[in-house]
Chain A
Amino acid sequence: SQELEQSPQSLIVQEGKNLTINCTSSKTLYGLYWYKQKYGEGLIFLMMLQKGGEEKSHEKITAKLDEKKQQSSLHITASQPSHAGIYLCGADMARETSGSRLTFGEGTQLTVNP
């Protein structure tokens, strides 16, 4: 099983609609990061959440981390075709033997129809 579970795996919405993507871990996260990937390209860093209950916004994208630091949601308001892509959550799961690393969720493919 994956250490980070993302849902849904894919999402098709009409332009102007709101949507939410979730990222869940069974372990407490030291940091939770959201990335966006356009087809065939590398990841672009969107936001970082580190404190329980933290919420950050950038333009029409808002990300929250729950109090227990085990679940995060990414919310897009009034979606646009430019929001289309793959959204991945990444988490800092520090390990004693091998140091901090980023573990990624399986990604959510977002399509926004005009």
Chain B
Amino acid sequence: DTAVSQTPKYLVTQMGNDKSIKCEQNLGHDTMYWYKQDSKKFLKIMFSYNNKELIINETVPNRFSPKSPDKAHLNLHINSLELGDSAVYFCASSPWDRIYEQYFGPGTRLTVT
């Protein structure tokens, strides 16, 4: 009965590969987010979707492409992985009108070698 789940939890891959991270929430929220937390622990928003529609797209390389098949899922696909992509990626969800009430997934630690 996990609220926000992410898979995989750990991902180790080589430069140049393409990988996906999946996120699902069972809270009935309209809005979902992807965050990147770098080695300095700084958490920065990457994307935000509301009812399957992209509403926030921060300055993120085109190699990152979110996909929302339905409002309970927001997946992150990364092409041509680079060393600098190594980080922890968090998925979160919230009601549309209470963005502070975000529920976070456990994170996916991506290591690019």
Chain A residues engaging chain B, CB cutoff 8 angstroms: 31, 33, 37, 40-45, 48, 86, 88, 90, 92, 98-104, 106-107, 109
Contact = CB atoms under 8 A, between A and B. Distances in A.
Given A101-B56, A106-B42, A107-B41, A40 B107 contact: yes
B99 to A, nearest CB: 5
Contact of B45 (A42, A48, A102, A107): A102
Interface in B53-78: 55-56
Q: How large is the interface on B (under 10, 10 to 19, 20 to 34, 35 or more residues)?
A: 20 to 34
A43 B45 contact: no
B34 interface: no
Contacts of B109: 40
A34 B103 CA distance: 13
Given A42-B107, A98-B55, A92 B99 contact: yes
